[in-house]
Structures are given as structure tokens and as C-alpha cells.
Amino acid sequence: MARPVGSADDIRLLASGLEWPAGPRYGPDGLLYVANFASARGLISRVTPDGTVSAFVETGGAPNGLAFGPDGVLYVADAGRRAVLRVGPSGDVSVFADSYEGARFNGPNDLVFGPNGDLFVTDPLRHEPPDPCISPVYRIAPDGRVFVFAGEIPYPEGVAVSPDGSEVFVAEMRSNRLLAFPLRPGRSAGEPRMVYRFRDPGWPVGMVVDEEGTIIVAVYRAGALAFVSQQGELLERWERPGSMPTDIGLGGPDGRTVYVTDAAGKVETFQHGARGL
């Protein structure tokens, strides 16, 4: 299993001045795309390798998760608009999916593409604790048809796919668990297995998986980054007092740069021992 290069002391600031940033994704144009969840008009920013921030598009909602599709187009989990959006290269925003069997989404949080082009989307209710916010993960076909992939999940947050495409990982924020759902024929998941349980204070939120299967998880309340194997071994844990990590991406020119968004409005980076998917 791959591990990070160096230690938490090697984390460096890339950009600041963002508004509750999340969803850092390295684009095909060599720029980093970041959602501003708390911006007034749903801003998605672009960040250059030297940290220069510029506006890309406004969704009119509250964007959180980002993912580039096989077609190179940016897809957005937008909690404010309660929809998955599609953003064209020129910045045109359209609704890709916003309901299941006539019922509107709760407020999509994160999304990732599977090996066949299906999109996996977490859609949590957003009630205050102690409400567990039991919610689904949807699976959206390339033609926009929506299926329930997994239900009855306490506040599903981050979502990622294993390197071999056989499992979908989901972070249960309110129960402090990381689950793996097997992909099987059809659109619904098989029985999940628990990969790892985080200790309090926890709240696993965003995550990313490298080519060797290491899962890097942002643990918001703990102010920590956790490096977990697919088998559930905690490889490393970086605790950083005062930090509030909201999400993680892995890409860059070499594919080995980790991007960490923080609720304080910044994006930080460090190098990892394997490439992103």
C-alpha cells in the first residue's frame, strides 16, 4: 500500500480566500477545480499551479463535490440546487439529474464515476445531530436514469471507487465508519463490509483512492488525514490541531499531488507515494 511522501510537516499552502472549499479535482486542462460551498452564488473556482485563484462558473446553488466525466465534462454535486449538474467547457450549466421516481434529491454531496461510466452520488439529509440523517447513495446511468445503489446510510458523505472497480467506498459521517459496497450485476449494491471505524472526534467526509488502493480520508472534526488500506489497516494518521479538512483530491502533473481543502478557505498540498485514479 502506498503511503504519503514525508509527514504532516510537509503540507504546503497552495491557495486561500475561498469560501468553505470542497471537491478539489485536477482538470484535463492542468488546473485545479474547487467548489465554494458557502459562496452566495455557487462559485466554482480554478486554481493554477502557482496558487492563483480565478472564477470558473456560478451554479446558483451550493456546489460541493466535483468529478470530471469520461467525456472531460465537469459534473457537480450541488446541495443548494438539490441536483447533479453538468458544466460544459464554456461554462454552460445544466441539470443532469435531480430526482428519483418523482422525489427530489435531498442535497447531493459527493460523486465519483464507476468503471462503466455510471455516476455514484451521495445524497444526505442535512438535519442537525443527533438526527442520523439516514439517506441513500444513488447510481446514475450515462443517460441520466437514476437508481438506488445503497440506502439506509447515516449521512453518506464522501464516495470513491476501488482501483479494480469492484467496490464503492462510502464515508458514513455520523457513524464514523468507512464502508465498502461490492459492485454486482444490476444497479444495486451487494452487502457492505466495514473497512474502518474512526474514533471520536471523527466525521469522515471527503476521500480519494490511489492506484494501489490506499484510501486517503479527510476526518473533519478530528482535524486529521487518515491513510487506510482497503483491508482496513490504518497506515498513517496525520493530526493537525486547528485544521478543518473538508475534502481531498489526488492528481497534478505527476498524478501524485494530494489537494486538501479546509473550511478556513484554503487549499493545501503534499506529495503521495502513488498516483490517483
Q: What is the CATH number of the domain that holds 132?
A: 2.120.10.30
- Note whether 178 and 169 are within 8 A (CB): yes
φ and ψ of 9, to 5 deg: -70, -15
Write down the pLDDT at residue 1.
67
Examine residue 5 and state whether it is found in any structural domain, yes or no: no
Q: CA-CA distance, 161 to 209, in Å (whole number)? A: 7
167, HSE (Cβ side, Cα atoms, 13 Å)? 18
Examine residue 100 and state whether it is found in any structural domain, yes or no: yes
Instruction: State the maximum Cα–Cα separation within the chain, in Å, rounded to a whole number.
Output: 49
Examine residue 123 and state whether it is found in any structural domain, yes or no: yes
Write down the pLDDT at residue 5.
78
Neighbours of 166 (CB within 10 A): 14
Examine residue 277 and state whether it is found in any structural domain, yes or no: no
Examine residue 231 and state whether it is found in any structural domain, yes or no: yes
Write down the pLDDT at residue 187.
82
What is the pLDDT tens value at each position of the chain, 277 positions in all?
Answer: 677 777 888 999 999 999 999 999 999 999 999 999 999 999 999 999 999 999 999 999 999 999 999 889 999 999 999 999 999 988 899 999 999 999 999 999 999 999 999 999 999 987 777 666 788 999 999 999 999 999 888 889 999 999 999 999 999 998 899 999 999 878 888 889 999 999 888 899 999 999 999 999 999 999 999 999 999 999 999 999 899 999 999 999 999 999 999 999 999 999 998 888 8
* Residue 158 belongs to domain spanning: 13-271
- Note whether 63 and 23 are within 8 A (CB): yes
Count of helices and strands (H, E) across the chain: 0, 26
Count of structural domains within the chain: 1
Q: CA-CA distance, 236 to 102, in Å (whole number)? A: 44
Examine residue 247 and state whether it is found in any structural domain, yes or no: yes
Write down the pLDDT at residue 63.
98
